[in-house]
Amino acid sequence: MTQHLRGQSGVIGILAVLIFSALIVVIGSAMVATSVLTFQQSQERIDSTQSIVDAESGVEDGLLQVRRNPNFGANDATVSMSFDTRNRTEYTISTVDTQSCQDARRVTASGFLDTLVRRVQVDNCPQPSVDADFVYALQAGSGGIDMSNNSRIIGSTYSNGNHTGGNGASVTGDVWVAGAAAPNPTPQYDPATVTDFLFGSSTNPNAIDVAQSFAADTTQSNKLVKVALKVKKIGNPANATVRIVTDNSNQPSATQVASGTLNASSVGSALQFIDVSLSTPPTLANGQKYWIVVDASSSGSNYWSWGIADDNGYPGGSGKNSDRWRSSGAMSWYPVGKDFAFKAFMGSPPTYAQSLTVGGDVHANTITSLSVAKDAYFQTNNGSTVAGSNFPGSQDPPQRDLPITDANINDFKTQGTSGGTQTGDVTVPLGSTATMGPLKINGDLVVENNATLRITGTLYVTGTMLFSNNAKIILDPGYGSDSGVIVSDGAITISNNVTFTGSGSANSFLLLGTTSTSDAAIDVSNNATNIILAAPNGTIRLHNNAGANALTANRLMLDNNAVVTYVSGLADIHFTNGPGGSFAANGWREIVCDTDSGPCTPVVE
């Protein structure tokens, strides 16, 4: 019995060992299988990551091609690249319209690692560029032009306000002083919230032209000098004609009483009030209904938007649209049911030019103590000597819109922001060199004495700007014949002997602009040269011996001996966002496509 039990215990021991060994094998196999699976999953993640990297490489190459050549892929293009025997990318570039922008270059790239495929897509939106015509050495708004002793303007001037001078103050060209507009518009309709109403688009043939009626208010004057419309442009439409017409049974008539030009170059990519001066201010009858008609061209990709309220909130008029305004024949106008945002500016007391030596002609309501080398066009002459012919009783010159508007500056801000944002003040230290742009700086910009700043794209500074003694601001040569921009929300101070240089190509300049309303929006000290300055809402002041190529501001002040020398190339100038900076990436996303050619949908996170 004892031997039998001992035999059984031996068998049990062997079975235990076998079972334990089997468990070890099972566990080991499971661990190996898990390790293999983990390795495979890890490798798949690595491969998946590598394929998305391949796709992103394709996108980046596509963006680079578009930046080098904005027309690349305009009619669709496909590019393939291999990195090694396993990795490759293929991308397509096409032109699409999106909610964010029109004529975007869409780059769709597929990254391949063996048979694994992942795709990335990005839209490259064109950034707004601005064309401006600086026809005059100085152009001022209602604040006018003040010239101190011996200050000189080598060129011509145009001012919507008075132009006065001191002893020895001179203008070598013509002097124009427009008939003034009242500071407060009457009537006007400026609702807090407006939406887009598109016109001039061939997709809606009944809304090529648009109109808004108003009841004339002659409390300030019976002359309508200008109107302002809250508009934006889509693409690059041709200039539109703004007509003031009489009423015919509650719709625009064929009788025009005045007209002006809505300059596309003055309009931005966001809704904003744009002045339209009338070439011959009409006399309006108080309380009578008139229409502002915008007569546009028809286009499938270049058209306009006029801001319209959500209700019919202006009781004195109504908005309508039509296939075309006509000077004769039948017209069909359709009610919009809402009112367009507008302002009407009536006239104000007469303007004048005073105490100047003028090398060309003078055009002003009243001329006082002038020495005019050529002809004079006026209504009143108070002691001025005219070497040429006198034309008393002449019509006041019309208001002229400034070449740089708030809408333009907002587009410049968009250009700068497209390159990213840097928070905090930025300083280019004494004697050093820095390269910037496009860039938005949330703070101040200071370029210290003898420092050099090279501009490779538009700079937008939310604070103030200071350019210290002997600083150099240079446009990158890649701008070519285009011009560059630095804009700010604050004041700009330019110290002694600061120099500004274009790209080196003909007709390439640097513009400094600000939205500041300050009496010292731009302050320029001695011998600052080679620059265009713009402060449409504030005052530009040039101190002794300071210089510039062109100035435009609400008010312009030249101290003793300041000199402005106009350059003819400023009559047609193109501002861009720098070398290859005309696009900004938008909507970077991974996509899933049914086939290699689509349709594609964004990956759901």
pLDDT digits (tens, 9 = 90+) for 258-293: 999 999 989 998 999 999 999 899 999 999 999 999
CA dihedral for 38, 40, 46, 48, sign (positive or negative): negative
Q: Where are the alpha helices (DSSP H) in 248-339?
A: none
In the numeric block, which tokens belong to residue 539?
């005052």
Closest to 301 measured CA to CA, from 128, 95, 103, 75: 103
Predicted local distance difference test score (pLDDT) of residue 604: 47
Mean pLDDT for 339-348 is 95
Closest to 501 measured CA to CA, from 534, 526, 479: 479
Residues present in the chain in total:
605
pLDDT digits (tens, 9 = 90+) for 536-575: 999 999 988 777 778 899 999 999 988 888 766 565 555 6
pLDDT digits (tens, 9 = 90+) for 443-488: 999 999 999 999 999 999 999 999 999 999 999 998 888 889 999 9
Domains of the chain: 2-127+582-602 (no CATH), 130-160+400-575 (no CATH), 188-346 (2.60.120)
Q: Where are the alpha helices (DSSP H) in 366-427?
A: 406-417
More confident residue, 486 or 124: 486
Say if CB 136 and CB 156 are below 8 A apart: yes
Q: Is the pLDDT of residue 493 over 60?
A: yes
Q: Is the pLDDT of residue 184 over 90?
A: yes
Q: Is the pLDDT of residue 90 over 90?
A: no
**What are the two backbone dihedrals, phi and then psi, of residue 455, each rounded to the nearest 5 degrees?**
-100, 120
Q: Where are the alpha helices (DSSP H) in 401-528?
A: 406-417
In the numeric block, which tokens belong to residue 120?
């990335």
Cα distances from 412 to residues 19, 247, 252, in angstroms, run: 80, 40, 37
Mean pLDDT for 55-76 is 66
Q: Look over the chain and give the mean of its residue pLDDT values, rounded to a whole number.
A: 85
What's the start-to-end Cα distance of the chain, in Å?
73
The DSSP symbol for 339 reads -
Q: Is the pLDDT of residue 532 over 70?
A: yes
Closest to 237 measured CA to CA, from 210, 275, 260, 265: 265
Predicted local distance difference test score (pLDDT) of residue 45: 66
Query: Please, what's the b/e burial string for 249-282 (b: 16 or more CB within 10 A of its CB; e: otherwise)?
Result: eebbbeebbbbbebbbbbbbbebbbbbbbbeebb
Where are the strands (E) in 413-461, listed by range? 421-423, 426-428, 433-436, 439-442, 445-447, 452-455, 459-461
Q: What is the dihedral of CA 329, 334, 337, 341, to 10 degrees?
A: -50
Mean pLDDT for 137-163 is 93
Mean pLDDT for 334-346 is 95
More confident residue, 209 or 480: 209
In the numeric block, which tokens belong to residue 378?
């006026």
pTM above threshold 0.85: no
Q: Which strands sit side by side in the sheet containing 385-386, from one edge to the other?
A: 385-386, 371-372, 357-358, 170-171, 152-154, 563-565, 547-548
Q: Is the pLDDT of residue 598 over 90?
A: no
More confident residue, 88 or 242: 242
Give the separation between CA 214 and CA 343, rounded to whole angstroms.
10
Predicted local distance difference test score (pLDDT) of residue 605: 42
More confident residue, 90 or 243: 243
Give the separation between CA 330 and CA 151, rounded to whole angstroms.
57
pLDDT digits (tens, 9 = 90+) for 294-318: 999 999 889 999 999 977 789 889 9
The DSSP symbol for 570 reads G
| Residue 139 CB burial class (10 angstroms; 0-12, 13-18, ≥19) | buried
Assign 57 to helix, strand or coil.
Answer: helix
Token look-up 């002045």 returns 275
Say if CB 136 and CB 157 are below 8 A apart: yes
